[in-house]
Chain A
């Protein structure tokens, strides 16, 4: 029961984060933590919920969030083989990659939909995404209940 409550609170805070700092994904660190400490089914459920929230509340046509979480999943999976997923250095590198991915994806979707692309603003938001991701990951990882971490370690 603890895990659903914790993830609901995380999602609610994430939505408030999205409202206060548009252009930054507050759910991305959740995926990193969930992949590390939760069963794959839990990560899939959470990703589907975050995907619906982002696609529904966002301004673009459906499709951005699938690519975004697909890229994040790939980077986390590949990165796990090469580096320690619990290190802040790895997460900082991931933040940089996400900042770049955010820019490229938004540009791609804006071109596909023939929409104006506010370059300056998007660049600022990408930098913010890159800088905030490791901080948010650190907070999420630290606040994730020890009981759930231990349970996962026992299972493994």
Chain B
């Protein structure tokens, strides 16, 4: 795998049944490309948490995944209310998700902490009333 591959997906808000389709597709593609399984799992989990966040909190957006030989870059852009206090949102257990989301198994305040845990770099830009962009990197270790 020497070339750079870019994958793009649209994410729709409130479509909880389809939430995770983009992450699932990325995971399958990485598997077919023979990427290291630990890298795949880190990418899949971080992307899935991010995708779920977009479905729950935003008005919709796009996911762009750029796969190159040494790193996988994921850019999640949404339009939406934005994150008021990013530092607070990064704390495990802090959540603004409504009760109906909790009954669906999410909204435990673990989304962003999990994303941070599974990525090698995470940058969050958010503007109130405009939207949020997450840039995440997962490095691919050199094969021995």
- Do A and B share a complex? no
Chain B interfacial positions (CB closer than 8 Å to A): none
